[in-house]
């Protein structure tokens, strides 16, 4: 249960993460703000309320696993990992620098807490299936969470993985769909509309939960519900806002992969105070 005190604390953490995203992308001059900002509450709820993990021991065998299939959204992941204590917050200043542990897409060989190198879209759910099945074979009770993008579901591999997860009854797997409605070329509906999501995932044999992806209490409830589902995987369809928290970035495809200049960053940070 998410108490009012805990919810308030999580909101404060989410605000910190949003500010980190703006600062690190403005400094790097390269990266993806829109889909990072849309996923802030989802990662905040996971890393600061729900996941079983030990930042001081990233390879702890009994940890829950989180995978970011939409690897271009890594600024939100890096900010969450830093705030959680996987590495020092000052490392965020080095995003995309040569030799940095924080590259433009996640690298599991460089970054503490990163379970999967990603960037090529469509692969994360397949990898999550394998990790979750391995847990069952090893008689471990860890859970696997994977965040996928809504535009990413245009990839055929997502649906192959969806079919196999249901076939093998992978109930220690929870996918989270960042349904912000936009991708690099425009709105989801204009480019290649994969909706309706609920009906499609249900037809593939998944338990589906639809939520407001910015409501921390609802996210916490959905994550808890997913733990109770047996004999089938769960997907949380989280309706989010692209560029959430920054007025001139919200619901705008142009901010999928464009970073703010100094003046825009200053404006964004004022809005996030």
- Domains (ranges, CATH) in the chain? 4-271 (3.40.50.970)
Instruction: Check: pTM over 0.85? Answer yes or no.
Output: yes
Peptide bond into 196 cis (omega under 30): yes
Rounded Cα distance, 79 and 60, in Å: 21
pLDDT digits (tens, 9 = 90+) for 108-154: 999 999 999 998 999 999 999 999 999 999 999 999 999 999 999 99
pLDDT reading at 78 higher than 90? yes
CA distance 243 to 47: 21
pLDDT of 252: 95
Instruction: Kindly state the percentage of the chain with pLDDT values over 90.
Output: 99
Does 61 have pLDDT greater than 80?
Answer: yes
79: confidence class by pLDDT, cuts 50, 70, 90: very high
For residue range 3-47, what is the model confidence (pLDDT) as tens digits? 999 999 999 999 999 999 999 999 999 999 999 999 999 999 999
As a whole number of angstroms, the distance between CA 202 and CA 196 comes to 10
* Measured distance CA(195)–CA(50) in Å, rounded: 28
Residue 241 half-sphere exposure, CB side, CA atoms within 13 Å? Answer: 11
pLDDT band at 1 (very low <50, low <70, confident <90, very high): confident
Q: Average model confidence (pLDDT) for the chain? A: 97
Please give the share of the chain, as a percent, with pLDDT higher than 70: 100
Using alpha carbons only, how large is the chain's radius of gyration in Å? 17
- The mean pLDDT of 172-177, rounded to a whole number, is 98
**Amino acid 217: pLDDT:** 97
């Amino acid at each position: 249960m998410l108490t009012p005190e805990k919810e308030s604390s999580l909101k404060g953490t989410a605000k910190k993460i949003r500010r980190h995203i703006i600062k690190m992308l403005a400094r790097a001059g390269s990266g993806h703000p829109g889909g990072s900002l849309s996923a802030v509450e989802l990662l905040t709820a996971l890393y600061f309320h729900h996941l079983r993990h030990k930042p001081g021991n990233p390879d702890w065998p009994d940890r829950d696993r989180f995978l970011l299939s939409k690897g271009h959204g890594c600024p939100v992941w890096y900010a969450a990992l830093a705030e959680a204590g996987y590495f020092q917050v000052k490392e965020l200043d080095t995003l995309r620098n040569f030799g940095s542990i924080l590259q433009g897409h996640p690298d599991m060989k460089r970054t503490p807490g990163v379970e999967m190198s990603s960037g090529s879209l469509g692969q994360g759910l397949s990898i999550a299936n394998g990790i979750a099945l391995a847990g069952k074979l090893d008689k471990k009770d860890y859970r696997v969470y994977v965040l996928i993008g809504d535009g990413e579901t245009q990839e055929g591999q997502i649906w192959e993985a969806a079919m196999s997860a249901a076939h093998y009854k992978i109930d220690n797997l929870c996918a989270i769909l960042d349904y912000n409605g936009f991708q690099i070329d425009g709105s989801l509906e204009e480019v290649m509309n994969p909706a309706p999501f609920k009906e499609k995932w249900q037809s593939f044999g998944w338990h589906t939960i639809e939520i407001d992806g910015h409501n921390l209490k609802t996210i916490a409830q959905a994550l808890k519900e997913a733990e109770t589902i047996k004999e089938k995987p769960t997907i949380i369809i989280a309706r989010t806002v692209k560029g959430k928290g920054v007025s001139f970035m919200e619901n705008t495809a142009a901010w999928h992969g464009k970073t703010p200049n100094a003046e825009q960053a200053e404006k964004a940070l004022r809005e996030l105070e």
